[in-house]
Structure 1
Amino acid sequence: MQQSEPSSPAAPAPADVIDVEQAEAALVEHYPRLVRLAYLVLPPGLGRNRRVLTAHSVAQRALPRGRTAPAPTAGGDPGYAYVRLRVLRSALEAGLPLRRAAWPKRAQLPPLLPQVWGLRLFPKSGGADELALDQRLSALDGPARAAYVLRGLERLDDSAIRTTLLAAGCTPDVVATALGTAATVEAQPALLASPEFDPCSLHARPTDLMRRRQHAKAAVAGLAAVVVCGALLGLPGGESWGPDGAAAPPYALNPAGQAALDPAKLTRVAPTAWESSPRTDFSVWPARGALTGDKDLLRRALAVWARPGGSVRVSATPGTAAGAPPGPAQLLYAGEIDQARVVLLFDGLRVVRYAEPKDGTSGAALDFARVDGADAAQSGAVVLDRSDGNVRYLTAPWVTAASVHDLLKPDAAAQKLSRSADGTTAPFAGPALSGSCTSWNALALTDATGTRLTSDLGELVPARLTTGRPDAPHDSAPADWAATACSLAAARSHGVRSVNSWSYAEQPLPEANGTAQWVCTRAETWQGGSPRTLTLFRTPGATASVVAAKSQTSPACGARDPLVLAGVRWKSRAGVWYLVAAGSKKVDSVTAAGSTVPGNLLAVKVARGAKVSLTGSTGGGGKVTTLK
């Protein structure tokens, strides 16, 4: 599974107020992330040593002054959103100039605590890319740095960034300027997560080398390491259940976090619970697999989930929080698959997959996928293992049969997929996600209500494939994707929930060149934003479609705006170039190259390299534009 940077921690819904315990739990759990955020936003002119200490200082002062505080309006975990907002506000205040007529703000003064005497503390040095990014960020003002960091490190969209900066005290004009300025710096989220910007992993050097003996330097450095890293992150404590495998060293946890690490507190659903439950989703999956009683394995999986060590490969689909469980999770599966031990867990919002080799814990992997709001169709299977181009699933208890279809060969018979008693499928070749697209295997799952087609897009949960108008999609047949299956590669590893294919127009081509087909595919994501929309054009006899337009922000071709318009330059068999365009049924006229034609189809002669604008209109006078 492709790695990706984790996004901000999420929760079912924000509350009106938060209490100090919520904020404290979020601060302890996400302390390194919050200090990194402060360090990146603080003014570079403070110097690396003071930036480190100030970053820790503002993070430590992020708790509410009273027992409760109003929750931020932004979504996600309200406790984390609150302390993040407090950290951001203090970091921005630290960059304000001092004024004679006003008392300085607390963040503008040197931090009282933490304080380290006789040492200079600074993060580990990075490479040339980190240095270049640091220089570019140094040239930005505080709000622009904050916008860049919230976009790259916290993975917030512009709307959420705007809300957060306004709540932090920035004016609307400053926020608008900050968003525009931040967009001029190349997005490099991986560099923001590098040790160069980690104020919790530090180098220490003496301030006066000539007056200190060698042993004194070592003692002071050791004491500083304990003060800065031990006291700030919390000392080991609480009950111990044994070795934690690939997990990082433990730290102090709140009671809910401590309970989440206890295998005995895992929820185990009865095998027949789904038959009488009003819900049909991951919450009624029973615990399956031969190792559900292996407490050592379950303990390691929970410990790595809470605090993955440096050797653990962690990946999360976009929009999915990669933080520790908020409380005891639900066990879905624990067993041996091929050469690995695999554990699947569910916390109400995410499916989490832990995998370790049979012969040890070195090379363990931890994968997160957001599945909140999944229905029976979207909780039919979870990836257990991928190896050598093959994929193996665990199917839902209500699935009665599984089969494999090559979407590029719709006339070929389906391949029946065998399953074990616990719902584990036999391995089969995954779709061609790279290189030439010569086949595309999709998984069909059958239950009491029918058969649903899904596709592996590099996530833990396969994406549901539908077809039809965006406001009334229905389950696909393999033939519906024969010409467009290869376009699914564009939706890989983007947290896709479902993909709809809509054949919205057929167009007779000029000079009796046959009839072309226009198709719009739209991939909806679990996080609700960043849909990936493509309009495809296919000429008679062609084995594949051509991408006419694409967008990641347009509502077109979706349930809220079931309108679409696209055009391409096309050459006839006689060598004449045309602009051919087609809109959906409600497009009443199309305008391009100075010509307006009634209806939803247009074909006009154009020069090969001519730049032509294309617009359409509806019967009510509405304007329709192409995807952007």
Structure 2
Amino acid sequence: MDERTRADVERAEAAIVEHYPRLVRLAYLVLPPSMGRHRRVLTAHALVQRALPRARRHRPDGGLPAQRGPAAETGYDLVRLRALRLALAYEGRPGRGLPVMPQVWGLRLFPRAGGAEELALDQALSAVPASVRATLGLWHLEGLDEEAARTVLEQAGAPAPDAAQRAAEQLDRETGAGAGAMLNSGEFDPCTVQTRPTDLLRRRQRLRAVAALVAVVAFGAAAAGVWQGVRDRPPRGETTAEQALDPARLVRTPNDQWADTSRVDFTAWPVRGRQAGDQELLGRALRVWAAPPADARITATAGTSTRPPDHPPQLLYAGLIDAVMVVVFHDGERLVRYAEPEDATPTLHFARVDDADLTTGAALVIGRGNGWMRYLLAPWISEVTTRDLLAPAAPPHGLHVAPDGVTDRILAPPMPGSGCGRWPVARFRPSSRVVANAGHADDATFLLADLNDLVPVHLRYVPPPSSGGTPAAGPHEATGAPALRSWARTACSLGSLRGAGVRSVTDWAFAEQRLPEGAGRATWVCSRADTWRGPGSVRIQFLPPAVRPTDPGRIAGRAANTAACSPYGPHVVGQVRWRAASGRWYLLAAGSREVGGVDATGGVRATGNENTLAAPAGPAAPATVTGRLRNGAPVPAFGP
């Protein structure tokens, strides 16, 4: 218990009163976005109010005076540190109970909505740890420099303060120089909120239930004998919340519905697993979801809510997987995987899957271990094989699937720090029944890759434009030889997307370029990762001629929360410094099909009237590269 003198406590109280909005804004920023805005608002207020320390008891008369020491921290520094420490404690604990105060009945509270830039920043913040959000708050809200912020982070118990500051610097670069202004906007102000009612029907049902209970208790105080009869009488009806926790009300899709529906996604999955009828197991899983115990482990993909069920969910699976009892639910927006190891802590994993389709709804990770995982397949998958992206010429390997749709163990991609000698993926072939209905070609196979989320990632490929300059076709499945050769050189960059809630990654070969001094042809690839929550990120990769087919390309630029390399951002320009075999350095640049010229200014001055540019330049000579569309509009090049 952090106890202080009476004077310390009075100074701390004055600091809280004077700087209350500032402290609440900092706590709100640090708390996990997965809590939801209403719960974050209430929790931020509660944590700041709990930041007031206790006064230590008076020392007995005749006691020695306190020894002199370092200068006492100010009242504000004290309460800021305590509020920050309390907010950081919620990291990895989205199910942590709400503090006792304050309480709001019948209303939902939300900060005022910001614009597109504030929304993009909020989404970017949801993908980073609490220590990174705390760093940004100390920089932009508190005005601390790096050294002072690091000291506060250490005192608050934030893990790896140096790594948090590096990640914060990266996020600052990706979101632009206006992050400080946006963090001070109404989007992040939990003291200026809007109110909306909760579920009015559910509230009315609860009020009726409370009124009925009060009446029963009052009546029972007067007539204990009648109370016994009332207690034994079954309830007239369940509230919506109670219905959501009733295993008998779980939605169970018929076995063959997937073959006769226009919505081929998780809603078409039938129930599977030997324990699908185990009401005790299902009820236990629903109760843990609704009110996770203090020791439960909770994982949520970036941008995914961990709120309790508000209606009876769909049951997808219940069974034993590698000595772990597993139950999987689908509530229309999320997958929820409940795992119950023997004599161990239960775990919950949440993942957004709204707007899934034939490919992104084709499988989910039903079990995972040290270096391996298993898929549960959609009922429309007729065949699944595995292959290594780093062995593009090797044939795929067959994979056994149990009658309940669970695959044998599959090697998982290497973890960070363990090298990149392989990158296993699974190739899926859908049933001809859904392929014909969906209008796909005869060979509708597709690749999915595990990135440590509950749902695998769909891999696609867009070939380079033809020599005649005609546009390439839209995204192809990454199963053909050109696609596999491209992915062999970019696969290892997938590791940076682990746990980010990525839905699909597309390799777009947007340009080809002849290298100076007869060094062959290079390919420029934009790898775009789209997330389930909406925003996408891109990496521009430069692929020079390779000695081995798996030689990785060079990262030539990147951006987060961008429409680049999508139908809504089809124009792109990349730049890189390249050294020829002679030892001479060049500035290389290339643009997508509509780019008709490229200009370099600054320390390197060059102009080209095509979509590529190669100019002699030192390895560190400053240069600004800009592409020109055929209509004259400029396209700034991505930087590293």
Give the TM-score, by structure 1 length. Answer: 0.65
Q: Does 1:491 align with 2:497?
A: yes
- Quote the offset at 1:422 in angstroms: 1.3
How far apart, CA to CA, are the structure 1 residues paired with 2:638 and 2:401? Answer: 43
Question: 1:324 maps to what in 2?
Answer: 308
From the superposition, tell whether residues 366 and 266 of structure 1 become closer, same or farther in structure 2 (CA, over 3 Å): same
Aligned partner letter, 1:620: N
Match of residue 437, structure 1, among 415, 420, 436:
420
Distance 1:492 1:71, change over 3 A: closer
Counterpart for residue 407 of structure 2: 425
> Counterpart in 1 of 2:508?
502
Measured after TM superposition, the shift of residue 258 of structure 1 is 2.1
Q: Give, in angstroms, the shift of residue 400 of structure 1.
A: 0.4
In the alignment, the residues of structure 1 paired with residue 593 and residue 448 of structure 2 have an alpha-carbon distance, to the nearest angstrom, of: 28
Displacement of 1:161: 8.5
Q: Which has the higher contact order (CA 8 A, sep 6+)?
A: 1
What secondary structure is seen at the aligned counterpart in 1 of 2:568?
Answer: coil
Which residue in 2 is equivalent to 1:243?
A: none
Residue 129 in structure 1 maps to residue 193 in structure 2: no
- Confirm or deny that 1:516 pairs with 2:522: yes
Q: Which amino acid aligns with 2:542?
A: F
Amino acid corresponding to residue 474 of structure 1 in structure 2: H
Residue 596, structure 1, aligned to residue 614, structure 2: no
Q: CA deviation at 1:5?
A: 8.1
Q: Which residues of 2 match residues 394-433 of structure 1 at below 5 A? A: 394-433=376-415
Please give the alpha-carbon distance, in whole angstroms, between the structure 2 residues aligned to 1:471 and 1:414.
26
How far did residue 71 of structure 1 move? 11
Could you tell me which residue of structure 2 aligns to residue 554 of structure 1? 562
Paired position in structure 2 for 1:305: 289
Letter in 1 for 2:242: Q
Matched, 1:532 2:537: yes
Aligned residue type for 1:324: P
Answer yes or no: is the 8 Å Cα contact 2:388–2:424 preserved in 1.
yes
Query: What stretches of structure 2 of length at least 5 have no aligned partner?
Result: 1-29, 53-74, 87-97, 116-151, 162-171, 194-209, 215-237, 436-443, 464-471
Distance change in 2, residues 1:428/1:8 (3 Å)? closer
> How far off is 1:410 after superposition?
1.1
SS of equivalent to 1:482: helix
What is the CA deviation profile of residues 34-85 of structure 1, one whole-angstrom value per residue up to 9, with x for unaligned ones? 4322145679869969999xx9797435645xxx99997689xxxxxxxxxx
Q: Secondary structure at the match of 2:287?
A: helix
- Find 2:460's aligned residue among 449, 454, 466: 466
- In 2, Cα distance between the equivalents of 1:580 and 1:415? 40
| Closer, same or farther: CA 5–374 of 1 in aligned 2, 3 Å | farther
How big is each residue's C-alpha offset from its partner over 1:346-385, in whole Å with a ceiling of 9 and x where there is no partner?
011100111111x33x222110100011111110000011
Q: Offset of 1:302 from its aligned partner?
A: 0.9
The CA deviation at 1:256 is: 2.2
Matched AA of 1:390: W
State how 1:336-415 maps to structure 2 within 5 Å.
Answer: 336-357=320-341, 359-360=342-343, 362-415=344-397
For the 8 Å contact 1:497–1:523, the answer to whether it is kept is: yes
Cα separation, 2, equivalents of 1:291 and 1:624: 57
Higher mean displacement: 469-478 or 603-612: 469-478
Given candidates 261, 270, 277, the residue that maps to 2:254 is: 270
The answer to whether the aligner puts 1:60 opposite 2:86 as a matched pair is: no
| Distance change in 2, residues 1:157/1:561 (3 Å) | farther
Deviation at 1:292, TM superposition (A): 0.6
Q: CA deviation at 1:404?
A: 0.6
Secondary structure of the 2:445 match is strand
Q: Secondary structure at the match of 1:305?
A: helix
In the alignment, the residues of structure 1 paired with residue 330 and residue 190 of structure 2 have an alpha-carbon distance, to the nearest angstrom, of 33
Runs of 4+ in 1 over 4 A off after TM superposition: 40-52, 55-58, 61-64, 68-75, 156-163, 165-170
Secondary structure in structure 2 of the residue aligned to 1:420 = coil
SS of the residue corresponding to residue 264 of structure 1 reads helix
Distance of 1:424 and 1:8 partners within structure 2: 30
Q: Distance in 1 between matches of 2:534 and 2:310?
A: 22
User: Is the CA contact (8 Å cut-off) linking 1:6 and 1:318 kept in structure 2?
Assistant: no
User: Which AA in structure 2 matches 1:505?
Assistant: A
1:208-261 CA distances to partner (integer Å, 9 max, x unpaired)? Answer: xxxxxxxxxxxxxxxxxxxxxxxxxx9xx99xxxxxxxxxxxxxxx92222222
> Is the contact between residue 505 and residue 518 of structure 1 (CA under 8 Å) also seen in structure 2?
yes
Check conservation: 1:7, 1:322, Cα contact below 8 A.
no
**Deviation sequence 1:569-591 (CA, Å, 0-9, x none):** 11110100111111111111111
Distance 2:520 2:45 in 1: 61
Q: Which residue of 1 aligns with 2:276?
A: 292
- Give the whole-Å Cα distance in 2 for the aligned partners of 1:446 and 1:5: 42
Q: How much has 1:131 moved relative to structure 2?
A: 3.4
* Structure 1 residues not aligned, in runs of 5+: 11-25, 76-126, 137-147, 171-233, 239-253
| Count of paired positions | 448
CA distance in 2, matches of 1:161, 1:293: 52
Q: Which residue is 1:191 aligned to? A: none
Task: Give distance in 2, aligned partners of 1:620 and 1:301.
Answer: 59
Residues 1:618 and 2:625 aligned together: no
Residue 283 (structure 1) aligned with residue 238 (structure 2)? no
Q: Is the 8 A contact 2:575 2:638 kept in 1?
A: no
Pairwise CA distance, 1:600: 0.9
Partners in 1 of 2:524 and 2:109 — Cα distance? 54
The Cα shift of 1:514 comes to 1.3
Picking from 29, 35, 38, the partner of 2:42 is 35
Whether 1:476 aligns to 2:481 is no
Range that drifts further, 535-544 or 158-167: 158-167
Contact 1:6–1:316 (8 Å) recurs in 2: no
The 1-side partners of 2:454 and 2:404 are apart by 18
CA drift of 1:532 comes to 2.0
2:447 is aligned to 453
Matches of 2:181 and 2:374, distance apart in 1:
38
Matches within 5 A, 1:131-146: 131=156
Q: Structure 1: which amino acid aligns with 2:487?
A: W
Question: How far apart are residue 159 of structure 1 and its match?
Answer: 7.6
Deviation of 1:468 after TM superposition, in Å, equals 1.2
Task: After TM superposition, give the deviation of residue 391 of structure 1 in Å.
Answer: 1.0
Change (3 A) 1:317 1:167: closer
Equivalents in 1 of 2:428, 2:412: separation in Å? 16
Using the size of structure 2 for normalisation, the TM-score is 0.64
CA contact (8 A) 2:46 2:100 kept: no
Q: Secondary structure at the match of 2:493?
A: helix
> 2-side partners of 1:433 and 1:261: how far apart?
37
Q: Aligned equivalents of 1:6 and 1:266: distance in 2?
A: 30
CA contact (8 A) 1:471 1:558 kept: no
1:627 Cα offset (Å): 2.7
RMSD of Structure 2 on Structure 1 (CA): 3.6
The percentage of counterpart residues that share the same residue type is 36
**Structure-1 separation of matches of 2:511 and 2:577:** 17
Cα deviation 1:429-470 (Å, max 9, x = unaligned):
012242211111111111122211111111110011111179
Is the counterpart of residue 570 in structure 1 residue 578 in structure 2?
Answer: yes
